[in-house]
Amino acid sequence: MLEIRNLSIAFKTAAGLKPAVRDVSFTIRPGEILGLVGESGSGKTLTSLGVMGLLPPNAVVTRGEVLVDGVDLIKCTPAELRRLRGGHVAMIFQDPMASLDPIFTCGDQIVEAILLHERIGKAAARRKALALLEKVHIPDPARCMRAFPHELSGGQCQRVMIAMAVSCKPRIIIADEPTTALDVTVQKQVLDLLRGLNAEVGAAILLITHDLGVIYEVADRVAVMYAGELMEEAATPDLFTNPQNDYTKALIDSMPSLGLRQERLPVIERDAAGNVRSVRPQPRTRPAGGDVPVAVDPHPLLELKDLRKSYWVKPTPLAAAVAMHAVDGVSFSIAPRTTLGLVGESGCGKTTLSRAIMRLSNPDSGQILFKGQDIARLSERAMRPFRREIAMVFQNPYGSLNPRQTVADLIGAPLAIFEEGTPAERSKHVLQLLDAVGLPRAAAAKYPHEFSGGQRQRIAVARALALKPSLVICDEAVSALDVSVQAQVLNLLKDLQVEFDLTYLFISHDLSVVEHISDTIAVMQKGRIVEAGPAEAIFAAPQHAYTRLLLDAVPTVGAERARRGRA
Amino acid sequence: MNATLSGALVLVGRKLLTAFVQLWLVATLIFSVMYIMPGDPVLLLLGAESNPSPEAVAAMRGQLGLDQPVISQYFVWLWNALHLDFGKSLTNGYPVAKYVTSNLPRTLELAFAAIIVAALIGVPLGIAAALKRGSLRDTVLTSIATIGISVPVYILGTLLVLFFSIQLGWLPASGYTDISRNVVEHFRKLALPAFALGFGLAASIARMTRSSMLEILGRDFVRALRAKGMSEHRIIWQHVLRNAAIPIVTIIGLQLGNLMGGTVLVEAMFNWPGLSTLLVSAVSARNYPLVQGSMLAIAALFILINLVVELFYSLLDPRIRRRRS
């Protein structure tokens, strides 16, 4: 059905063609789901765009064939390609909200897609669109027809995209990270939907993702890409139980997995000869003289008591404003030198809560006890000494570092703000921080754009540590990173916790990451903590229905792996 | 549906109220300018050189109501202005409102003609440049636009007159003919000032169109539309241009507003009897009621046009319709 033979894609640069995809070959049969997995920059998205003939202007196919039912798409004219697109080959994108035109209703956009490939009347197309929306299980399809994309949730938008993709009964559906922007529970629904439609329509699906869990759950076969090359292709169960390729092994190892806690996650290393292997780093020990037994402190470092924060929102222009309880009576405490994992889906109030603790916003009521003192209502001036003690690492390492400052300026900024030491002492301190987060000292003079995502997050961590805080709030700090890079940053955070006596409030939507790093866990839903307790207890026997729902929704890479990991 | 309609009415009502408050603030400012500006209108009126007697000055003050306390003058003036009575011209006693109503449509006409010329030139040029980004065509068009912005209107106007009236003899160099007297002559005389004003504006509209189009072309949904199999032509005209329209409409609206008081040079150059001409002659004659009346008219038009543009947004973008709530 879809056969890719020796596909090579290169970027046009001033220095000539720079290959990005090399000699990739695979086939997908009707009704099959092939998972294409790899890290960012591995060439998986470029491959899919090459198949659709939608490569960016600076990329070209240098070699190979893309055969759809025997027709080579590479040789098609633009007009022929256009007829195949949407009708024969459909695509679903990563960010559903951004992939819909904001100024047309969802109904109009589906109708438009139908009319592009079918000769039916407008009324018939509308009826068909409505039927499609029912098929993708959207609540209230009639309302959805009239709704604009911004009036729907991300999951609903992705359903609209899927409805549009299957509207003309395509033979092949390419889904590029279709669930990456969605919550776990929504991700599960969307994946179930895709699998169900696949069985019904009989289309072949090329599922591109960086998430091995997603692959494990839905794909029949897996192709692994690394640095533009196809590493391995195998049936899904075989790949996970018996990976042949070194990179595949390393990639599977570096993924934190539910029910399998490890002291440190293995990371992927590449030696001088270019061979890839998985290395499990040893936990860093405290510097010499530092191994004084750490007294167990009975007092929590941070304690929240019935914290509340509401926003006033107007549902319609004329309606009276109603209170939206973003944080609704939250209480928990974190012991010194431990990690509390705060889990919840988007919109549950996690970020509002972290902003309130940082006193970036003022809570309505309740107490924030930090080292026993209530900081909930301190003035900006009285809050200042506490600002040194609480630091934050944000989700997006691309957005949280000022692109016009050098790394030395960025890391040194908190020191300069608190007028810590002389400039010479500060730059020495910056170098020590770079050592601590595992970056070369030469990094100090560089700018953020010269670093990868994982390295940037290390810079952000170094900046957070500059004033020797006792509490570090990590708000989705590893969510934007690839699995292997995520493993490195998680290991780093664990090492630094021991080295600098840190306490973490680790906010994430990813349960396997939270399980890996946390000592205690709090599950948040609609502004409330529905369950809290020791990590192991919660993962072993979740009490609240919502916790169980979250845990069930996480794609897991089977029990075989857990056994292998423990062995 | 009903909720949407009432929501829209609330929106319009709120905007109107804001516009009214703005107008009142501007009116107050205009009134106070008269007391801040140097020179006594009474002395000017009676002729300072002829050394008028104190009795004559006092009589004139009484006649003009200038002997009243400032605050009561202000309220009387405001009350009259509310009834479109801006007083009488100091030089000939002719009602200011009559001047304004006869000159205002001419300025409006010139401004609209200029904006239409500007949009008709600027929008297609911007689209053409955006679609071939980085090509020779883009470079040439962008350079022309930059030159267009930087050439002062009086130089462009002079060049136009030299070429089209003197060299070719196609169009009259200046003047104004009322539309009721001769329709063809009216528009022939409108053409050159409208083009002189429009060219410079076209340049900035072209630049805004180009950058706005480029921004939308880079969005994910454009790629999704291509993946749907839609032709490039339909993607541009049906989706990209509509999304790109908001900043373009903004700049067109702002320019139209600015033109209300910004036609001075062109009106003077082409002898076009509009509001700006009126204002300039009134200022040099210290004809305060006329200054106040024409300034207020210009400000009111500016506010009105901005109001219309803002309401127009919500037609273009469903997100603004809801977000404003």
Residue range B98-134, pLDDT digits in tens: 888 888 888 888 889 999 999 998 898 888 888 887 7
More confident call, A535 vs B183: A535
**C-alpha A26: how far from its chain's center?**
27
Of B219, B228, B229, which has the smallest distance from its Cβ to A98's Cβ?
B219
Question: Would you state the pLDDT for residue B323?
Answer: 46
Q: Please, which residues have CB within 8 angstroms of residue A466's CB and are 6 or more apart in sequence?
A: A391, A411, A412, A413, A414, A415, A429, A430, A433
Structure confidence at residue A564 (pLDDT): 46
- The pLDDT of residue A558: 54
Distance from CA of B256 to the nearest CA of A (A): 26
Size of interface A-B (CB pairs under 8 A): 82
The closest CB to that of B220, out of A85, A93, A316, belongs to A93
Backbone angles phi, psi at A216, to 5 degrees: -60, -40
A2-253 and A307-553 share one fold: yes
Q: Provide, as residue numbers in chain B, all residues whose Cβ is less than 8 Å from the Cβ of A317.
A: 3, 6-7, 10-11, 324-325
Residues of chain B above pLDDT 90, percent: 5
Contact call for B228 and A86, based on CB within 8 A: yes
State the Cα angle at A180 between A354 and B223, rounded to 5°. Answer: 120
Contact between chains at A116 and B239 (C-beta distance less than 8 A):
no
Q: Where are the domains of chain A?
A: 2-253, 307-553
Which of A54, A164, A314 lies nearest to residue B223, judging by beta carbons?
A54
Nearest chain B residue to A48 by CA: give it: B227
Task: Please tell us whether the domain made up of A307-553 is placed in CATH 3.60.40.10.
Answer: no
Over residues B69-75, the mean pLDDT reads 82
Does A318 sit within 8 Å of B10, measured CB to CB?
yes
Asked if residue B325 has pLDDT above 60, the reply is no
pLDDT in tens, chain A (567 residues): 788 889 999 888 888 888 888 899 999 988 889 999 888 778 888 888 888 888 888 888 888 888 888 888 888 888 888 888 878 888 888 888 888 998 889 999 999 999 988 889 999 999 999 998 988 888 888 888 888 888 888 888 888 998 888 888 888 889 888 887 777 778 888 888 888 888 887 888 999 988 888 888 888 999 998 888 888 888 888 888 888 888 888 888 877 776 666 667 777 776 666 677 677 777 765 554 444 445 556 788 999 999 999 887 765 545 566 778 888 899 999 999 899 999 988 778 888 898 899 898 889 999 999 988 898 888 888 888 899 899 999 888 878 888 899 999 999 999 998 888 888 889 899 999 998 888 888 888 888 888 877 888 889 999 998 998 999 999 888 877 777 788 888 888 888 898 888 999 999 888 888 888 899 999 999 889 999 999 888 888 889 999 988 888 877 665 444 444 443
Q: Which residues pair with A209 in a beta bridge?
A: A37
What pLDDT shows up at residue A563? 45
SS (H, E, C) A450-502: HCCHHHHHHHHHHHHHCCCCCEEEEECCCCCCCHHHHHHHHHHHHHHHHHHCC
Q: Pick from A54, A103, A117: which is nearest to B318 by CB? A: A103
| pLDDT reported for residue B309 | 82
> Quick one: tokens of A515?
């399980």
Q: Calculate mean pLDDT across residues B80-90.
A: 80
Quote the CA–CA distance of B94 and B101 in Å, as a whole number: 13
* A41, A80 contact by CB (below 8 A): no
Q: What is the pLDDT of residue B229?
A: 85
Residues A95, B220: C-beta atoms closer than 8 Å: yes
Measured between beta carbons, which residues in chain B are less than 8 angstroms from residue A116?
A: 228-230
Separation between Cα atoms, residue B274 and residue B256, nearest integer Å: 15
| Closest chain A residue to B216, measured at CA | A101
- Distance (Å) from the alpha carbon of B228 to chain A's nearest alpha carbon: 4
> A-chain residues within 8 Å CB-CB of B229?
82-87, 116-117
ipTM strictly over 0.90?
Answer: no
Q: Considering only CB atoms, which chain B residues are within 8 Å of A106?
A: none
Interchain contact A316–B (C-beta under 8 A): yes
> What average pLDDT does this structure show over B59-64?
75
Burial class of residue A373 (count of CB atoms within 10 Å of its CB; 0-12, 13-18, 19+): exposed
> A2-253 falls under which CATH superfamily?
P-loop containing nucleotide triphosphate hydrolases (3.40.50.300)
Q: In whole angstroms, what is the distance from residue B297 CA to residue A281 CA?
A: 77
Closest chain B residue by Cα to residue A113: B228
The alpha carbon torsion through B10, B15, B20, B25 (nearest 10 deg) reads 140
Is A416 in CB contact (< 8 Å) with chain B?
no
Distance from CA of A362 to the nearest CA of B (A): 24
Lowest mean pLDDT across A115-119, B160-164, B174-178, B295-299: B174-178
**B294/B318: higher pLDDT:** B294
* Candidates A54, A103, A317; nearest CB to B226: A54
Of the partner residues B3, B228, B316, the one whose CB lies closest to the CB of residue A116: B228
> Is residue B282 pLDDT above 80, yes or no?
yes
Q: Structural domains in chain B? A: 20-82 (no CATH), 96-323 (1.10.3720.10)
Put simply, the answer to whether B229 touches A82 (Cβ < 8 Å) is yes
pLDDT at B37 over 70: no
Which of A161-165, A547-551, B9-13, B243-247 has the weakest average pLDDT? B9-13
Which of 188-227 (A) contact B at CB < 8 A?
Answer: none
